[in-house]
Structure formats: C-alpha cells, structure tokens
Amino acid sequence: MDAVGLGYLAAGIGAALTIIGAGHGIGKLAAAAMEASGRQPEVAGPVRTSMLIAAALIEGVTFFSLAICIILATK
Amino acid sequence: MNTAVDSLSQQSHLDTLGGQGVAGGAHGGENLFAELLRHLEDSHELETPFGHVHLPEFPPVDVFGLTVDLSITKHVLFVWIAAVLLCVVAISVARKYTRTEVPKGFTNFFEAMVVFVRDEVAVYNMGPRGIRYTPYLLTTFFFILLMNLLGLVPYGATATANVSVTAGLALIAFLMINGASMRAQGVGHWLAHLTGGVHWALWPIIVPIEIIGLFTKPFALCIRLFANMNGGHLVIVSLIGLIFLFQSYIIAIAPAGFVVGILFLELFVAVLQAYIFTMLTATFMGLGMQESGHGAEEAHS
C-alpha cells in the first residue's frame, strides 16, 4: 500500500474513532441530563441549557478532529 | 440549500456527465461528486432561475505584503443580503413596536425572540450587567440565523458555510469577550487572570496555556459554525450523488425522501447553531466578567 492509500485509511479510521468518542461523550451527557430532569422536572430548563453548552463544547473538539480527517482525505 | 434544487435542475447536464464517466471508467463517480461539491464552494457565479450571473471580479490588491482578492463572490453577496434584510426587518419592527401599545403579528414574534435572547442568554449568563451587551448578542443571533436560513432558500448560498465568514464573526466575538472582561475587571485584573492565580514559579507553564485558552474559545466558535453548516450540505450532496451513482429513477425515490428529512434537520440546525454561537459567546463573556475569575472553575473549550 502506498503513502496516499495509507493517508485515506488514516482519515477513515480517524473519522470513525472521532465519532465513537463524540457519540459516547454526548450520549453520557444526555443520559445524565435526562436523569436529572426526570428526577427534578422543575430544573429541566437550566439543565437543558447547560447540556446544550456542554454538547456544543464536545462537538467543537470533534469538529477539530474531523477537519483534520477531511484535510487528510482531500490533500 | 442550493445543492438540492440546483443539482436537480441541472439533472440533464449531470446525467450526461455521469454517463460519460460510466463509459469512461471508474472515475465517473468521482468527477460527478466533485461537480456536485462545487455548489457548496464559494464562486464568482450566482445561480438564478434565469441562468448564471457573473459577479464582478477585481484584480487582487496588496495589503501589507498580503495579496487579497476583494472580488464580490456568492458568499459575500449573501452576507450583504442578510445584512440588508436584517436592517430592514429590525428597523421596521422597532418602529412598529414603539408606535403601538400592544404588538401583534410579526412584531409579537420578533419581541418574543428578543426577550428570549435578553433574558435567557444575556442576563442568564452575565447577570443584570449583561443587558448592556444584549444589542451585540441580538445582532449576532439574527445575523447568523438569517445567513443560515438564506442557505435553505432555493438558489441561495450558505455564507456561514464559508470559514472566512465564521472567522470574521469569531473575531468580533473574541474582541467582545475580552473587552467585556477588561471592562468588568479592569485591564490589571484581566492580565492577572492570565497567570491563573498560581505560584510565580509555575507562570512559564500557565501563562502560555492561558493565552492559548483565550484563542481556542473563538476558534472553536468559528470551526463549530462552519462545520455544522457544511455537514448537512455534505450529507445532502452524498444522498443526491447516490441517484447518479445508480442511474435509476426508481432508486431516486429513497434519497429524495431522505433529503427532505435532512432539510428539516438543517432547518433545526440553522436555528440551533445561531443560538449556540450566541449562547457560548455570552457564557464566555460571563466567565470573564466574574469578580474572582482566578479559579480553576473556568471552562476551557
């Protein structure tokens, strides 16, 4: 396998690993937020807001990694 | 979202392209995909129902040794359209609002959104001092929202899917975050905050980290908006690419259904990302405005 092929392989594996991590992180976050608002429905609003902020932060890091994968795949 | 409508309107053109590709060998799908992807990029051509309009191109200018191309491209045009539209709508609504006792119709809808940004974004994150920054947050929210939504209009282009546009927005956010922090704490405290409140022996490690931390926040804002607005478009391009890959009318039904679903998702994402950008800017401003901001409780994106 030549270097270009390895680059494509790295981009694919990198994207997959990124999504595994991000999915796990956001999944745990959402589960905790659901539990919290299920236990105390009166704080569901603030919990949802802080969940969105945390999810956006996780997503931001994910996109860094995905951008690297896309650069790897298109170069 | 120009790709869906336009690539369908150019179906015959693409069909011949795909046909050539299949006849020519394995590179057909790749060429076709590149052709579809071109709709996502910035270009000097504006697509209208009456054909392509060539936008004015200027020769590149040298600014401090940098070669800058100041041509009016599709995305520049859509930033301007969003700005003009926002000015017209906001000024007319504000006029109507001050004239009548009880707002109704569109003014009422606008009032609800303005109050939401003021109470749930500005005051929620910054306390009563946040009211001073509400105009900035409102402008950011509605400007990003309009640019995102213009991308979903047929023949439209998503200006926020261009990394330069989001970088510009993030630069303003960077200035506002640090300006608000300096104004609330004073420049001295703001500088002291860079040391993280640790022993001076650790400063060589902490100060560079804190300085990098200053830039990661707006950088994350920039990349997040850009990637989110591009993500949905890429999915739609891939789904439409399936139709040309299979060269069949029957198979076209399934991707078309999926595309409609993704378009609704994009509508949601357009609103959500405008909200997230505003909310995170307000959160970062609020963090910088706290009185004792030396602690470890500070969030780093």
pLDDT tens profile A5-62: 888 899 999 999 999 999 999 999 999 999 999 999 998 888 888 888 888 888 888 8
Mean pLDDT confidence for B190-203: 82
Residue by residue, what is the 3-state secondary structure of B51-80?
EEEECCCCCCEEECCEEECCCCCHHHHHHH
Cβ pairs A/B, distance under 8 A? 36
Q: Where are the alpha helices (DSSP H) in A1-75?
A: 3-39, 44-74
Report which of residues B39 and B15 the model is more confident about.
Answer: B39
pLDDT at B30: 61
Tokens of B30: 């790749």
pLDDT at B14: 41
pLDDT at A18: 93
How close is the nearest chain A Cα to the Cα of B29, in Å? 16
Query: Is B13 a residue whose pLDDT tops 50?
Result: no
**Sequence letter at residue A30:** A
pLDDT at A71: 82
Q: Where are the alpha helices (DSSP H) in chain B?
A: 2-9, 11-24, 28-37, 74-99, 106-116, 124-126, 134-150, 163-185, 187-193, 203-246, 253-289
CATH code of A10's domain: 1.20.20.10
Tally the domains of chain A: 1
CA distance B245 to B22: 9
Contact B155, B115 (CB under 8 A): no
Mean pLDDT confidence for B177-201: 85
A40 interface with B at CB cutoff 8 Å: no
**SS3 category, B293:** coil
Chain B residues in contact with A67 by the CB 8 A cut-off are 223, 227
A67 and B223 in contact by Cβ < 8 A? yes
The ipTM is 0.74
What range does the domain containing A57 cover?
3-74
